């Protein structure tokens, strides 16, 4: 009679029942790395504690997927995995290498550089309030949620350039991770550690990266009107198209960067490049995901919270300063056919669908307003810092 015996999750051997016990005994000593006894974590108690996300009162509830409830144990594990270079092939980089708290979880580079020193094609994105980004992740929206997103950097050939089976083997034999996985997810043994659970933990950690609600802008919104000086107020009024009574032009920004997180998470051509034909965009953006020719050169409007500390700007980091980024909008784009209509409507209308654009004072005032979105309390929050330091 022949039976199948599984060692770890790697080797399955047909065995003759006779002599099975001796064979098992012998094999146990050369168990493949990461193999484990069934139930080897069951003596560790599994008693997860619900995690209550701290958010400003004026922010809506944070969306949590039903199959990944937030627990203290899950968030703690996710925080470790986020900051641990164990995820990369040569143990040199972690998620945090490109997403640092000081840069609002960006790397402050034009484009990110992976473990082999090779530059990727896009700029790292801020993870502030990423839990609210439920209309696709990445500049082109190709990932549906944080769990799916967290799978990708590990096997990205430019980023962490690893493969998940290697990561899982390292986690299984680790001193502390098996116990943490047990406490977060109740797994019975080391062999049950999986990439699906690892990314759930990382996603739980990312969902706590919420604004503190203490920026100057939040204070103003809460009714503390004195926090803004005249220039900041002018900038705000133009940003939200509220400046007409004071003879300030519309800057149209809020149409795409509106709401509490200062983004509607929609996809636009915001008028960065002058192309004769849509197929000429050097990075086709949203088109790579949807295949819709009209999506060429469209990208997700990112949050502007903490924008003053997450330079450089745009999907390719083309602008070093906020002034350059805002000045780009001042001239009403290039009239490329899929440019959003608001891109051509900066300033005062002067007839025939033409607009004045924004002058230097107006650009400067908008930049000053953008600085009021800086949230240093968030950046310095001890709960989100590197746990290995």
Give the whole-angstrom CA distance, residue 210 versus residue 254.
20
Q: Contact 80/66 with Cβ under 8 angstroms?
A: no
Work out the number of other CB atoms within 10 angstroms of the CB of residue 369.
Answer: 27
Half-sphere exposure of 104 (CA within 13 A, CB side): 24
Stretch in the footprint of ligand HEC (CB under 6 A) among 31-39, 46-54, 130-138, 167-175:
130-138
What is the chain's alpha carbon radius of gyration, rounded to the nearest angstrom? Answer: 25
- Of the candidates 71, 76, 104, 112, which one interacts with ligand HEC according to CB under 6 A? 112
When binding is defined by CB under 6 A, the residue of 36, 71, 97, 306 that contacts ligand HEC is: 97
Mark 48-67 with x for binding to ligand HEC (rule: CB under 6 A) and - for no binding.
--------------------
Residue 154 Cβ vs ligand HEC, minimum distance, rounded to whole Å: 6
- The contact pattern for ligand HEC, residues 150-179, with x = CB under 6 A and - = no contact, is x--xx----xx-------------------
User: In this chain, which stretch among 65-73, 167-175, 180-188, 297-305 interacts with ligand HEC, using CB under 6 A?
Assistant: 297-305
Spatial contact of 321 and 108, defined as CB atoms under 8 Å apart: no
Using the minimum distance from each CB to ligand HEC, give the nearer residue, 41 or 251.
251
Supply the minimum distance, in Å, between the C-beta of residue 37 and ligand HEC. Answer: 29
Q: How many CA atoms lie within 13 A of 35 on its CB side?
A: 13
**146-177 residues labelled b (16+ CB within 10 A) or e (exposed):** bbebbbebbbeebbbbbebebbbbbbbebeeb
Cβ atoms 325, 318 nearer than 8 A: no
Residue 258 buriedness (CB in 10 A; 0-12 / 13-18 / 19+)? middle
Window of 17-25, 41-49, 149-157, 220-228 that interacts with ligand HEC by CB under 6 A: 149-157
Size of the site for ligand HEC (CB under 6 A): 56
Residue selected from 220, 268, 287, 378 as contacting ligand HEC according to rule CB under 6 A: 268
Q: Which residue number, 42 or 102, has a Cβ lying nearer to ligand HEC?
A: 102
Residue with tokens 């996710």: 78
Q: Which of 70, 75, 80, 95 binds ligand HEC (CB under 6 A)?
A: 95
**Which lies closer to ligand HEC via its Cβ, residue 210 or residue 325?**
325
Nearer to ligand HEC, 44 or 100 (CB): 100
Q: 312: cis peptide before it, omega within 30°?
A: yes
With contact defined as beta carbons under 8 Å apart, do 140 and 125 qualify? no
Q: Does 41 bind ligand HEC (CB under 6 A)?
A: no
Question: Is residue 243 at the binding interface for ligand HEC, with CB under 6 A as the rule?
Answer: no
The smaller minimum CB distance to ligand HEC, of residues 36 and 104, is found at 104
Tell me how many degrees the CA angle 369-371-376 measures, rounded to the nearest 5.
140
User: 185 or 189: whose CB is closer to ligand HEC?
Assistant: 185
252 binds ligand HEC (CB under 6 A): yes
Nearer to ligand HEC, 36 or 345 (CB): 345
Round to whole Å and give the CA distance between 229 and 227. Answer: 7
Number of C-beta neighbours around residue 13 at 10 A: 11
Nearest distance, CB of residue 182 and ligand HEC, angstroms: 21
State residue 259 phi and psi, 5-degree precision: 75, 180
Q: Which is nearer to ligand HEC, 98 or 168 (CB)?
A: 98
**Does residue 33 have a cis bond before it (omega within 30 degrees)?**
no
Alpha carbons 165 and 200: distance in angstroms, whole number: 17
202 binds ligand HEC (CB under 6 A): yes
| Of the candidate residues 36, 76, 162, 270, the single one contacting ligand HEC (CB under 6 A) | 270
- In this complex, which beta carbon is closest to ligand HEC, that of residue 37 or of residue 90? 90
Instruction: Compute CA distances 102 → 55, 123, 301, 358, 379, whole Å.
Output: 19, 16, 21, 31, 6
Whether residue 277 contacts residue 310, with contact meaning beta carbons closer than 8 Å, is answered with no
Decide if residue 315 touches ligand HEC (CB under 6 A): yes
Binding site for ligand HEC (CB under 6 A): 82, 87, 93, 95, 97-99, 112, 114, 120, 122-125, 127, 130, 133, 137-140, 146, 149-150, 153-154, 159-160, 202, 206, 251-253, 255-257, 268, 270, 272, 299, 301-302, 304, 307, 310, 313-315, 322, 325-326, 329, 340, 342-343, 366
């Amino acid at each position: 009679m022949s039976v199948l015996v599984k060692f770890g999750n790697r080797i399955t051997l047909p065995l003759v029942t006779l002599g099975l016990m001796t064979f098992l005994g012998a094999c146990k000593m050369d168990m493949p790395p990461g193999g484990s006894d069934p139930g080897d974590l069951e003596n560790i108690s599994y008693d997860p504690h619900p995690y209550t996300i701290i958010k400003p009162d004026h922010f809506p509830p944070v969306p949590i997927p039903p199959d990944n409830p937030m627990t203290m144990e899950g968030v703690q594990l996710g925080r470790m995995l986020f900051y641990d270079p164990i995820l990369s092939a040569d143990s040199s980089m972690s998620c945090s290498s490109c997403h640092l708290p000081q840069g609002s979880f960006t790397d402050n580079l034009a484009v990110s550089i992976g473990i082999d020193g090779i530059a990727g094609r896009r700029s790292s994105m801020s993870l502030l309030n990423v839990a609210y980004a439920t209309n696709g992740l990445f500049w082109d929206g190709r990932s549906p949620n944080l769990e799916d997103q967290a799978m990708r950097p590990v096997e990205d050939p430019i980023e962490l350039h690893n493969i998940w089976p290697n990561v899982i083997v390292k986690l299984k034999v680790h001193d502390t991770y098996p116990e943490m996985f047990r406490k977060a997810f109740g797994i019975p043994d080391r062999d049950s550690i999986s990439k699906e659970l690892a990314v759930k933990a990382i996603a739980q950690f990312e969902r706590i990266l919420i604004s503190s609600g203490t920026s100057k802008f939040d204070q103003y919104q809460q009714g503390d009107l004195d926090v803004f000086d005249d220039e900041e107020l002018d900038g705000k009024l133009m940003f939200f198209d509220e400046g007409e009574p004071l003879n300030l032009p519309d800057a149209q920004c809020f149409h795409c960067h509106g709401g509490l997180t200062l983004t509607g998470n929609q996809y636009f051509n915001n008028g960065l490049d002058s192309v004769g034909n849509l197929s000429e965009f050097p990075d086709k953006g949203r088109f790579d995901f949807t295949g819709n020719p009209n999506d060429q050169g469209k990208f997700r409007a990112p949050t502007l919270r903490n924008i003053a500390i997450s330079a450089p700007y745009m999907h390719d980091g083309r602008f070093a300063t906020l002034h350059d980024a805002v000045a780009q909008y001042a001239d009403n784009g290039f009239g490329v056919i899929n440019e959003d209509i608001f891109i051509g409507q900066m300033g005062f209308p002067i007839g025939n669908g033409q607009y004045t654009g924004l002058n230097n004072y107006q650009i400067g005032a908008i930049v000053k307003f953008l600085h009021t979105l800086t949230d240093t309390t968030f950046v310095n929050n001890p709960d989100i810092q590197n746990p290995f330091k």
